[in-house]
Amino acid sequence: MKLFFDFVPIFVFFIAYKFFGIFVATTIAILCSFIQLAFYWFKFRRLETMTLVSCIIITVLGGFTLLLHNVMFIKWKPTILYFVFALALLLSGFFAKQSLLQRMLGKTLKLPAAIWQRLNYIWVGFFMLLAALNLYVVYNFSTSAWVNFKLFGIMGLTLLFLLAQGIYIAKFIDMSNINKGNES
């Protein structure tokens, strides 16, 4: 459900672009990001870091897009966002006892420390790949193709990545703990 919720601003941006163009879509994406923040605040009484960072980046780059009437700013938003995520994961692997990924998912998923570290670096690589792919599409295709890639390409790659990650993680999960919960 959370993954779907994270893609809502991208979906809204896509629909707005198709009907109204890039500048209206950018405005709506900024508003949608603030609505997302407000939703998190009212539902959980906290702000989620990734959503907050995304909102700040889209507000700044979207603001420059609208102010300067230059679409390159909004097109760079995914690259900057993915780079920030990759950097945060990378630095957490060096400067903290647990990686950021382990701190986020460690309560619900028990894995050996070495696997958490490996997963953390795999996520760094994935975010860097998305950042690079976004730049490739920005500079080699039309704005319309970029908008399509932003929704379908990035979402498709993310879903495939999560599936592959799930298959990889499955061999390290202790099934005996899961089965004990089902016995009555």
- pLDDT score of 17: 97
Does some domain include residue 149?
yes
Mean model confidence pLDDT for the chain: 88
pTM of the model: 0.86
Ramachandran class of 173: left when φ > 0, alpha when ψ lies in -120 to 50, beta otherwise? beta
Query: What's the burial of 95, exposed, middle or buried (CB within 10 Å: 0-12/13-18/19+)?
Result: exposed
Residue listed under structure tokens 């603001």: 63
- pLDDT score of 181: 47
Residue 174 has pLDDT above 70, yes or no: no
d(CA 33, CA 55): 5
Residue 176 has pLDDT above 70, yes or no: no
Name the 3-class secondary structure at 47: coil
Does some domain include residue 179?
no
Instruction: Please give the residue range of the domain that contains residue 165.
Output: 2-173
DSSP string, 149-172: IIIIIHHHHHHHHHHHHHHHHHTT
Question: 36: which 2 tokens?
Answer: 């997302």
Mean predicted confidence (pLDDT) in 105-121: 85
Among the listed residues 19, 150, 145, the one whose alpha carbon sits nearest the alpha carbon of residue 81: 150
Does some domain include residue 140?
yes
Q: How many distinct structural domains can be found in the chain?
A: 1
Mean predicted confidence (pLDDT) in 10-16: 93
Does some domain include residue 99?
yes
Does some domain include residue 181?
no
- pLDDT score of 107: 80
Does some domain include residue 182?
no
Chain-centroid distance of CA 18 in Å reads 22
d(CA 21, CA 10): 14
> Which amino acid is located at 150 in the chain?
K
- pLDDT score of 179: 46
- pLDDT score of 65: 97
